[in-house]
Amino acid sequence: MADESRKRLWPDEDEWLDTFREYLCGHPELAEHVARIWFALLEHHDEGPEGVRNARFILNQALRLTYPFTRSYRLAYRHYLLSLTGQVKPEDEPNNLLKASIARMRASIAEAREARRELKD
C-alpha cells in the first residue's frame, strides 16, 4: 500500500527532474543550496512533532516569500494600483473580489468534506 500511495504523490519524479533541469542545470551552487534545504527539512522531520512543526514553518515561510515572484502577485499588485485611482467599480475592489472568492472556496471545501463524510457513513 505504501508503494501504491507513493506512486500517486505529486510532483512525481519526472516532474521534479523537469523542474530541476530547467532551473538547476548549469547552476551547481544553487543545486547545492537546494539540496541543503531538502536535507534540513528531512532532518527536522526526524526530530518528531516539534521538528515537523519547524519544517512546516520553514515551508510556509518559503511559500510566503515566493509569492512576490509570481504572476498572481504581479496581477494583484496591478489591480491594487488600479483600485487606488478610484476608477475600479466597488464590486471589483480587491477586498471585495478576494473575500467573495475565499467564501466560495470555503463553501466548496465544506461541501466536499461533507460529501466524503457521507460516503464513509
Q: Where are the domains of the chain?
A: 8-69, 71-121
Q: Which helix (H) or strand (E) holds 22?
A: helix 13-24
For residues 26 and 36, what is the distance between their CA atoms, to the nearest angstrom? 18
* Cβ atoms of 58 and 41 closer than 8 Å: yes
Which pLDDT score, from 0 to 100, does residue 10 have? 76
> Which residues neighbour 43 within 8 Å (Cβ) at sequence distance 6 or greater?
51
Which pLDDT score, from 0 to 100, does residue 3 have? 60
Which pLDDT score, from 0 to 100, does residue 110 have? 95
Which pLDDT score, from 0 to 100, does residue 121 have? 78
Name the percent of the chain lying above pLDDT 90.
83
Low-confidence ranges of the chain (pLDDT < 70): 1-7
Q: What is the pTM of this model?
A: 0.69
